[in-house]
């Protein structure tokens, strides 16, 4: 009986989704313009380009007068090789255009900071969408001083607070992480503070009320992992030898403790943890 009820519920849910997908369409011009305003601020429509499964608006930003695009498009919803209609998504090149406008206005000021603090400041080109400008410095002190001044320039420009969750990463000439400036915290963070924040975020995914209670220094041998289980693509210093150092971050939730180790796993894309052994009902 339970299985029959489950199958019935699943079928009803699937039919509901299919009904939604069947009636899916691109946003109207008015709706897409409203979406742009809610995400990026006020703008004026300069032109539109509509196709069978897409609508693109060319917009002029009200504050700085640069142009950018927003697009509503349909793509096939596919399950096990079968198509069940279309799903709508909206996208924009606003982030890049907004940054390019900033650089056009403020590159001379950033160049003066480069000279003053003997650093290099350039747009970040990696995969982290929160990173804005990358500062290359000979040491953390130089980089921090330059980042604090660069942040003032950014905040004076960003009246709509679009960059409120962004960071300015600081690296040395060899690409080693020296820290970052965080707009949300309005201060520079050390590499350890950044890593602790990342690990704590992962812990909150498992248990919303998880609290960091201590850290513990161990070795790679203590994890029981094999070298080929570790993702080294983002960190050339990732542990591989038994004696390589590993930090355990211990959290508490509902009176139970679990750890997350500073070791990224290949098969999950998350850090090694015993959370499901310690708290079986963790999400």
Does the pTM surpass 0.85? The reply is: no
Q: Which of 92, 120, 143 is the last residue of a domain?
A: 92
Structurally, how many domains does the chain consist of?
Answer: 3
Are 146 and 177 part of one and the same domain?
Answer: yes
Domain boundary among the residues 189, 213, 245 is at: 189
Q: Within this chain, do residues 81 and 118 fall inside the same structural domain, yes or no? A: no
The verdict on 115 and 183 lying in the same domain is yes
Q: Do 83 and 100 lie in a common domain?
A: no
Q: Considering only CA atoms, which of 112, 113, 118, 111 is closest in space to residue 137?
A: 118
Scored b (16 or more CB within 10 A) or e, 161-173 reads ebbeebbbbbbee
Each of the 283 residues of the chain gets a pLDDT tens digit; together they read 344 444 444 444 444 444 444 457 899 999 999 999 999 999 999 999 998 899 999 999 999 999 999 999 998 766 656 555 779 999 999 999 999 999 999 999 999 999 999 999 999 998 888 999 999 999 999 999 999 999 999 999 999 999 999 999 999 999 999 999 999 999 999 999 999 998 999 999 999 999 999 999 999 999 999 999 999 877 778 999 999 999 999 999 999 999 999 999 998 889 999 999 999 988 7
Residue 11 resides in a domain: no
Based on the fold, state whether residues 177 and 233 are members of the same structural domain. Answer: no
Tokens of 50: 């509509």
User: Which tens digit of pLDDT belongs to each residue from 221-249?
Assistant: 999 999 999 998 777 789 999 999 999 99
Beta-carbon contacts of 144 under 8 Å, excluding residues fewer than 6 positions away, are 170, 179, 181, 188
Among candidate residues 140, 156, 189, the one where a domain is terminated:
189
Domain limits at 266? 192-278
Give the tokens for residue 86. 């279309």
Rounded to whole angstroms, the Cα distance separating 142 from 68 reads 35
Asked if residue 19 is part of any domain, the answer here is no
Residue 202 neighbours by CB distance under 10 Å: 16
Residues 244 and 180 in one domain: no
Residue with tokens 């570790």: 230
Instruction: Judge if 31 and 55 occupy the same domain.
Output: yes
Cα separation, 198 vs 201, whole angstroms:
5
Query: What single string gives the DSSP state of each residue in 119-156?
Result: -EEEE--SS-TTB-EEEE-SSHHHHHHHHHHHHHHHHH
Apex 95 CA angle, 89 and 100, nearest 5: 145
Residues 75, 105 within the same domain: no
Query: 167 with 202, same domain?
Result: no
Q: Is the domain of 158 the same as that of 238? A: no
């Amino acid at each position: 009986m339970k299985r029959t009820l489950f199958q019935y519920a699943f079928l009803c849910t699937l039919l509901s989704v299919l009904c939604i997908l069947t009636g899916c369409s691109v946003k109207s011009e008015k709706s897409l313009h409203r979406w742009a305003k809610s995400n990026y601020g006020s703008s004026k429509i300069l032109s539109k380009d509509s196709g069978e499964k897409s609508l693109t608006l060319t917009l002029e930003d009200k504050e700085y007068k640069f142009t950018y695009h927003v697009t509503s498009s349909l793509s096939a919803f596919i399950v096990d090789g079968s198509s069940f209609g279309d799903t709508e998504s909206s996208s924009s090149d606003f982030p890049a255009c907004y940054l390019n406008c900033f650089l056009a206005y403020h590159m001379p000021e950033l160049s003066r900071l480069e000279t003053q603090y003997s650093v290099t400041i350039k747009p970040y080109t990696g995969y982290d969408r929160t990173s804005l400008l990358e500062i290359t410095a000979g040491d953390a002190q130089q980089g921090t001083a330059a980042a604090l001044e660069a942040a003032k320039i950014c905040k004076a420009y960003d009246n709509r607070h679009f960059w409120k969750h962004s960071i300015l990463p600081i690296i040395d000439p060899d690409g080693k992480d020296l820290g970052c400036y965080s707009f949300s915290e309005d201060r520079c963070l050390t590499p350890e503070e950044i890593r602790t924040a990342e690990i704590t975020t992962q812990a909150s995914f498992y248990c919303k009320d998880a609290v960091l209670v201590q850290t513990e220094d161990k070795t790679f041998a203590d994890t029981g992992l094999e070298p080929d289980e570790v993702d080294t693509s983002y960190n050339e210093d990732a542990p591989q030898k038994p004696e390589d150092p590993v930090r355990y971050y211990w959290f508490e939730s509902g009176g139970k403790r679990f750890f997350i180790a500073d070791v990224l796993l290949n098969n999950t894309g998350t850090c090694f943890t015993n959370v499901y052994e310690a708290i079986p009902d963790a999400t």
